[in-house]
Structure formats: structure tokens, C-alpha cells
Amino acid sequence: MKNIFVLLCMVSFALAVSGCGAPANKKAPGASDKTSYVEGMKATLDSWNSDILKLEGNITKFKGKARSDYKKELSKLRADRNDVKLKLEKIQGSADNSWEKIKKDVEASKIELDRAISNTIARFKVK
């Protein structure tokens, strides 16, 4: 009987120390998804930055109206990229259970910017 009491005390102590079996530092639902999404979008932003820098490097190939049009396209790409960046910052600052609403808008903007970069490359025949 004394052995059972000692055993129960040891088990109780072990459960108390370990948090009663609850995982430590458990994040709220959706937190890890949000973190993963933000990290993935940061990589996408880096890729867009690289694409835009490459496009900027081609500006000397154009003269007159073509150059003016090219500058306008680059300006629009930068503005669209910055818009996505601001939306991503909203996601980072949002509650873990409300970021999905903003994500839909970011995804639509992502598709548009990917398409705009591809169209600029094709339209001006640059790489």
C-alpha cells in the first residue's frame, strides 16, 4: 500500500512538472500556418525584387517612347510589389485567427504581379 502511495506521488509530481501532459509553448490554431505563409511570401517578394532589378538593368536598351513606356511599367511593378508588401505586413500584425481574410487579397495580388512581370518581360523582349 505504501508503495502504491509513493508511486502515485511520483506520477503526480511528474505530471505537474511536465504540465499535465499538455504540450509546452503550443501556438494558437493557425499560427504556424501564418508563419509559414509569411515566410513563403517573403521569398516571393525577394524573387520579385530580383526580377525588377533585372528589368531595371535593361532600361538602357530603350530610347524615346519605348523607354518612357518601360519606365512606366517598372514603376507600376514596383507599386504593385509594395502593395503586396504592405498587405503582408498586415498579415504579420493580424491575429492568428483573422489573417486568412487578408491572405485572399494577397493571393489575388500575387497572381496579378506574377502576370505583370511576365507580360513586361514578353512585351519588351527582355530577360
Q: For 45-83, write each residue's pLDDT tens digit.
A: 999 999 999 999 999 999 999 999 999 999 999 999 999
- Which of these ranges, 3-17, 31-45, 69-83, has the smallest mean pLDDT? 3-17
- Percentage of the chain exceeding pLDDT 70: 75
Amino acid at 70: Y
Residue with cell string 511570401: 41
The pLDDT of 110-122, averaged and rounded, is 95
Return the C-alpha cell found at 74: 517598372
DSSP summary character for residue 59: G
Are residues 117 and 56 in contact, defined by beta-carbon separation less than 8 angstroms? no
| Least-confidence region, from 16-30, 62-76, 99-113 | 16-30
Q: How many residues are recorded in the chain? A: 127
Which amino acid makes up residue 57?
G
